[in-house]
Amino acid sequence: MNDPKPYFEAHVFCCTNRRPDGHRRGSCAAHGSEKLRDYMKARARELGLDGRVRINAAGCLDRCELGPTLVVYPEGVWYTYRSPADIDAILQTHLVEGGRVDRLMLMPEQRELRPEQLG
């Protein structure tokens, strides 16, 4: 039997985990991930991506020090983001055009943000 066609072309999981203030690892929510996730959902609708792309809140994605973070499947590409402009770049470049936003991409071995990722 063949796998069924995916229900969504892409699935975006945005970490919205919140840890207590002062936690050594920090948390995505403390860096505004909830508000930015809401912005991403609204912009995706404006771009006509609803029905094709699903944007969800996620619990801890375990890359707290790099947060806020999100991951796009089926590709498994990870991003950090800090602003609505970063979200716009991810939506347009990755989800509309099929490219990648190199400056925001997180590599598997990455443990700290690069200067261009600090916004």
Q: What percent of the chain has pLDDT over 70?
A: 100
CATH of the domain at 41: 3.40.30.10
Residue 42 forms part of a structural domain: yes
pLDDT at residue 67 in the model: 87
Residue 55 forms part of a structural domain: yes
β 10-15/77-80 pair status: unpaired
Where does the pLDDT of residue 56 fall: very low under 50, low under 70, confident under 90, or very high at 90 and above?
A: very high
Q: Is the pLDDT of residue 102 over 80?
A: yes
Does residue 15 contact residue 67 with C-beta atoms inside 8 Å? Answer: yes
The domain of 65 spans 10-24+31-75+85-108
The DSSP output letter for 100 is: -
Where does the pLDDT of residue 21 fall: very low under 50, low under 70, confident under 90, or very high at 90 and above?
A: confident
User: Residues near 44 by Cβ (< 8 Å), separated by ≥ 6?
Assistant: 50, 53, 55, 91, 95
Residue 91 forms part of a structural domain: yes
Tens digit of each residue's pLDDT (9 = 90 or more) over 69-80:
999 999 999 999
Residue 54 forms part of a structural domain: yes
Q: Provide the number of structural domains found in the chain.
A: 1
Q: Is the pLDDT of residue 100 over 90?
A: yes
**Residue type at 16 in one-letter notation:** T
Where does the pLDDT of residue 1 fall: very low under 50, low under 70, confident under 90, or very high at 90 and above?
A: confident
Backbone angles phi and psi of 93, in degrees to 5: -75, -45
Q: Higher confidence at residue 100 or residue 25?
A: 100
Residue 116 forms part of a structural domain: no
Backbone angles phi and psi of 72, in degrees to 5: -110, 125
Does residue 112 contact residue 65 with C-beta atoms inside 8 Å? Answer: yes
- How do the residues of the chain divide into helix, strand and coil, expressed in percent and rounded to 5? 35, 20, 50
